[in-house]
Amino acid sequence: MVKRLDDALGRLMDALKSSGQIDNTIVFFLSDHGCHFKTRNGEYKRSCHEASIRVPMMATGAGFDGGGQVRGMMSILDIAPTLLEAAGLDVPDVMQGRSILPLLSAPKAAWRKDLMIQISESQTARALRSGRWKYAVSAPEGTEPQARASTYHETELYDLAHDPYELENLIGCASHVDVAAEMRRRLLAQLATYEDATPDIVPADPRPTIGQRKVAPADIW
């Protein structure tokens, strides 16, 4: 599969060069999802975990020829605004994404603090990814997969700074009640913006924590 992708991209680039269009073309390469190979649930890609939501994305062409890596959180929704701005066209106000071009010239420019994730088909779920935290909610068990739900239950909370492989689920822990509450608030704000929806999110049942210090709101970001 990797060889076929490499061969196909090579043919595309050769065609652009031979037709004289290479200097007037921007090429984006990306995947639509990751894969956790059934290490997180009973199927292979649909979950809130980094292995599922992080995808390779590379760009080359005018405006993208300086090399380097952008660290800001980018969504697939950002691709269209980015290409429009790179082509010198206006980005319509109705577009929900943002152009990443400002990050190319100023990597520390103000950027989004979190990003909403939609999990579908195998379940109806949403998640929020910030620089440090991953927070996930899911429709009640037994609910048939659908586009959206009116009620979600908290299922996961990971501290990516100290647990990058997401091995310790902190949802419901007394030490992280404030973090979950803030992530819940931020996810609801994202749902109101992108889905025009205000579902109920049921907090996880509380449970004690052993060896975990209480995380204050000031530590969240």
Q: How far apart are CA 159 and CA 133, in angstroms?
A: 5
The arithmetic mean of pLDDT across residues 189-206, rounded, is: 93
Note the pTM of the prediction, 2 decimals.
0.87
What is the CATH code for 114-219?
3.30.1120.10
Q: What is the pLDDT of residue 165?
A: 94
CA 50 to chain CA mean position, Å: 9
72-88: average pLDDT? 91
Asked if 69 and 55 count as a contact pair (C-beta separation under 8 A), the reply is no
Domain boundaries, the chain: 2-105, 114-219
Computed over every residue of the chain, the mean pLDDT equals: 89
Task: Please check the confidence at residue 211 and state whether its pLDDT lies above 80.
Answer: no
pLDDT tens-digit series, residues 118-145: 988 888 999 999 989 999 999 998 778 8
Q: Which CATH number fits domain 2-105: 3.40.50.300, 3.40.720.10, 2.60.40.10, 3.40.640.10?
A: 3.40.720.10
Token pair of 197 as six digits:
């929806």
Residue 1 per-residue DSSP state: -
User: Bigger pLDDT: 95 or 38?
Assistant: 95
Reported residue count of the chain is: 221
Across the strands, what pairs with 60? 27
Cα Rg for the chain, rounded, in angstroms? 20
Q: Please tell me the least confidently modeled range out of 28-32, 67-71, 154-158.
A: 67-71
The predicted pLDDT at position 217 comes to: 62
Confidence of residue 17 (pLDDT cuts 50, 70, 90): very high
Residues 78 and 97 sit within 8 Å (Cβ to Cβ) = yes
φ, ψ for residue 9 (rounded to 5)?
A: -65, -40
pLDDT at 190 over 70: yes
- The number of helices, as runs of H, and strands, as runs of E, in the chain is 5, 7
pLDDT at 213: 76
Mean pLDDT of 180-199: 94
